[in-house]
C-alpha cells in the first residue's frame, strides 16, 4: 500500500473515532479533537513498529507509553495520552476490533504536586501589622489571622473553634479538624496577649446577651463564617500589597517550623495530617530555599568577569 493510501486510511479511521467520541461518548469537540490527535500519534507508532491495530496487546501499549516518556513529554500530556488510549480502546471494543480495552491496565501517571506558596517571616509581619487594631473588629481580625498563622489552622477550624477549647493559662487550643480528629496546638505570647484582650473587651461587646459557643463572631455577635474571614483577608492583603490566600498562612506556619528545626512528625501532628506524605511537601519547599541560597552565594554558580 502506498504512503498516500496509508495516510488516507488512518485519517478515515480517525474521523470515525472522532465522530464516535461526539455521538456515543458525548465528549466536547475540543476533547474529541485532543483525543484524535493523541490517537494519530499512537497509530503512527504502530505503523513504524509494523504492528496491526487488531493485534495490539497490553504489552504493546505499555511499550508505547514508555516510548512517549523517553521523548521527555510532561506528565500532564502523558495523562492525556492515556485518556485518549482508553477512549480509543472503548471504540475498538464496540467495533469488535479489540476483545477488551487493554488500555485500562495502564497506570495513570501522577502529575507533580505544585509546591505551596509560602510567605517569609517579614511578609507575615507586614501582613499582620497592616491590620488596624484601634477598632473592635480590627482587633478581632488581628487575633484571627495571628492564630491561623501561629497555630497553622484551616479557615474552617478557626471559624468552628469553641471558647471552651481555648486554654489561656496553659496556652494551647484544642482543634477539631477533618473527620472530627482532635489535636492540641500551643500558641505563643503574641497570640496570648491578643486573645486575652479580645475575650475581655471585644467579644463581650459584640456578643452582648447572646450565648455563642464559637470564639470568633461577626459584628452581629454571631459566629463568623468562612466567607467573612476570606473577605477580611482580601482587605488586609490589599493594604499590605501581598497577594496570597488565607491558606498560605498555614503553609507558612509549617514551612517556618521546619526551617526552625522542627521534625516532620511534630509538624504532621500540629497540622493534623493523617499521612506523613502530605506533610513532606513542605520539605520540598525548604529544599528549594536551600537551592536558591546555594545559587545566590556559591561562587561556582556566578559569572566571574576579568577585571
Diameter of the chain measured on Cα atoms: 89
How far apart CA 19 and CA 197 sit, in angstroms, is 68
User: Which position among 36, 68, 256, 273 bears the catalytic label?
Assistant: 273
Using alpha carbons, select from 39, 46, 128 the residue that is nearest to residue 86: 39
Buried b / exposed e along 196-234 (16+ C-beta atoms within 10 A): eebeeebbeebbeeeebebbbbeeeeebbeeebbeebbe
User: Which position among 28, 178, 181, 210 bears the catalytic label?
Assistant: 178
Cell 517556618 found at: 256
The string of DSSP codes covering 203-225 is: HHHHHTT----BS-B-TTSSBPP
Is 69 known to be catalytic? no
Contacts of 306 (CB under 8 A, 6+ apart): none
Taking each helix axis as running N to C, give the angle between helix 247-259 and helix 281-297, from 0 to 180 degrees, rounded to the nearest 10.
60
HSE, CB side, 13 Å, CA atoms: give it for residue 25. Answer: 22
Cβ 213 vs Cβ 162: under 8 Å: yes
Is 142 known to be catalytic? no
Is 282 known to be catalytic? yes
Sheet holding 166-167, edge to edge: 166-167, 172-176, 182-186
Is 26 known to be catalytic? no
User: Which position among 154, 203, 251, 256 bears the catalytic label?
Assistant: 154
User: Which position among 18, 35, 198, 282 bears the catalytic label?
Assistant: 282
How far apart CA 279 and CA 265 sit, in angstroms, is 8
Is 183 known to be catalytic? no
Is 48 known to be catalytic? no
For the annotated catalytic residues, the residue numbers are 154, 178, 247, 250, 273, 282
Amino acid at each position: 500500500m502506498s504512503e498516500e493510501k496509508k495516510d488516507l486510511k488512518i485519517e478515515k479511521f480517525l474521523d470515525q473515532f472522532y465522530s464516535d467520541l461526539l455521538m456515543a461518548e458525548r465528549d466536547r469537540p475540543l476533547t474529541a479533537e485532543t483525543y484524535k490527535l493523541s490517537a494519530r500519534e499512537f497509530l503512527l507508532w504502530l505503523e513504524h513498529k509494523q504492528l496491526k491495530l487488531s493485534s495490539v496487546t497490553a504489552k504493546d501499549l505499555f511499550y508505547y507509553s514508555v516510548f512517549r516518556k523517553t521523548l521527555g513529554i510532561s506528565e500532564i500530556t502523558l495523562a492525556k495520552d492515556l485518556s485518549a488510549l482508553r477512549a480509543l480502546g472503548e471504540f475498538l471494543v464496540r467495533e469488535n476490533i479489540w476483545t477488551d480495552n487493554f488500555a485500562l491496565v495502564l497506570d495513570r501517571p501522577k502529575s507533580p504536586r505544585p509546591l505551596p506558596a509560602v510567605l517569609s517571616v517579614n511578609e507575615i509581619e507586614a501582613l499582620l501589622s497592616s491590620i488596624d487594631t484601634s477598632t473592635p473588629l480590627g482587633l478581632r481580625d488581628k487575633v484571627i489571622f495571628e492564630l491561623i498563622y501561629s497555630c497553622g489552622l484551616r479557615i474552617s477550624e478557626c471559624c468552628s473553634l469553641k471558647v471552651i477549647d481555648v486554654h489561656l493559662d496553659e496556652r494551647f487550643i484544642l482543634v477539631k479538624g477533618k473527620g472530627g480528629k482532635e489535636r492540641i496546638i500551643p500558641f505563643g505570647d503574641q497570640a496570648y496577649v491578643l486573645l486575652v484582650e479580645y475575650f475581655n473587651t471585644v467579644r463581650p461587646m459584640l456578643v452582648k446577651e447572646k450565648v455563642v459557643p464559637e470564639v470568633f463572631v461577626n459584628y452581629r455577635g454571631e459566629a463568623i463564617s468562612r466567607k467573612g474571614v476570606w473577605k477580611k483577608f482580601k482587605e488586609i492583603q490589599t493594604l499590605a500589597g501581598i497577594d496570597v490566600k488565607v491558606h498560605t498562612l498555614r503553609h507558612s506556619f509549617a514551612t517556618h517550623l521546619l526551617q526552625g528545626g522542627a521534625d516532620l512528625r511534630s509538624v504532621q501532628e500540629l497540622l493534623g495530617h493523617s499521612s506523613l506524605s502530605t506533610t513532606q511537601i513542605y520539605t520540598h519547599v525548604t529544599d528549594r530555599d536551600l537551592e536558591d541560597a546555594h545559587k545566590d552565594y556559591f561562587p561556582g554558580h556566578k559569572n566571574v568577569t576579568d577585571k
